[in-house]
Structure 1
C-alpha cells in the first residue's frame, strides 16, 4: 500500500526555497559578512522549523492524545498535515487518510477511497460499498446502485 502524502523532505525543501531569497538579499546587503550571514540565516531557519514541529506535535499530543495517536496510526504527522499551500498541496482527504480518492460515489458523485472486499459508507449520501457493489437502503430493501445513477 502506497502513501500518497507529500514527503516531509519535499515540504522542508519548499520552505527553504521560499525563504532563501531573503537570505540571499540579506547576504548581498551585508556582503563583507556574507560568509557568516548565510549559514546563520539557514541555521536559524532549521532551528525555527524543528522548534515549530516539536511545539505543534507536543501541543496536539498534550491536548488530544487519542487524536494524535489516530493521526500517527494513519501515517500522518500533525505538523506536516497542518501546513497549507504552497508548502503542502495535499487535499483534506489525503491529509486524513494518506490516500487519494480512487472512485466516485454513485449516489452523490463525491470522490471517495474504497478498497475491494472492505465495507465502506459514504459520509455524504449514506451509500454503502459492500461485497464489491454499491448499495442503498430504500426503506424496505437494499438495492444495488449502478455507477452514474
Structure 2
C-alpha cells in the first residue's frame, strides 16, 4: 500500500470587520498628541518663564495681558483640550486593563467622563470669558492696569 500524504484544505481568507479599529486610532492619537503637547508646553513655558521675566513675574496682570491676545487663548485652549483628551485616553486604557468586573469598569469610565467634561467645559469658559476689567465694577476693586471708566 502506498502511503498517501494528507492534504490540508486551503485556509479561508479572514473576514474583515467593517468597524473601525478604535484601539489603533487611540494608539496613534496618543503618539501624535504627545508630540504636539511637547511643542505646545515648551513654548508655553518659554514664553512664561524665560521671556516673561521668570516665575516671580507671573501674576494676574501677566495672565490678563497674555489672554488679551486671541492667539494665546487658542494656544492655552489647545493645551487644555489635548492634555485632557490625552490623559483621559490613557486612563481609559488603564481602566480597561485593570478593572476586571463590568460594573467597576463602567463606574470608573463614567467618573472619568464626568471629570473630563467638567474640566474641559470650565477651563474653556475661563479662557474665553476671562475679563480682568469688567465693565461697571467699582474702581477700588479693579487691578491697577484697568482704566476706571
In the superposition, the TM-score normalised over structure 1's length comes to 0.29
Give the greater-gyration-radius structure (CA).
2
- Higher relative helix content: 2
The structure carrying a bigger strand percent of its residues is 1
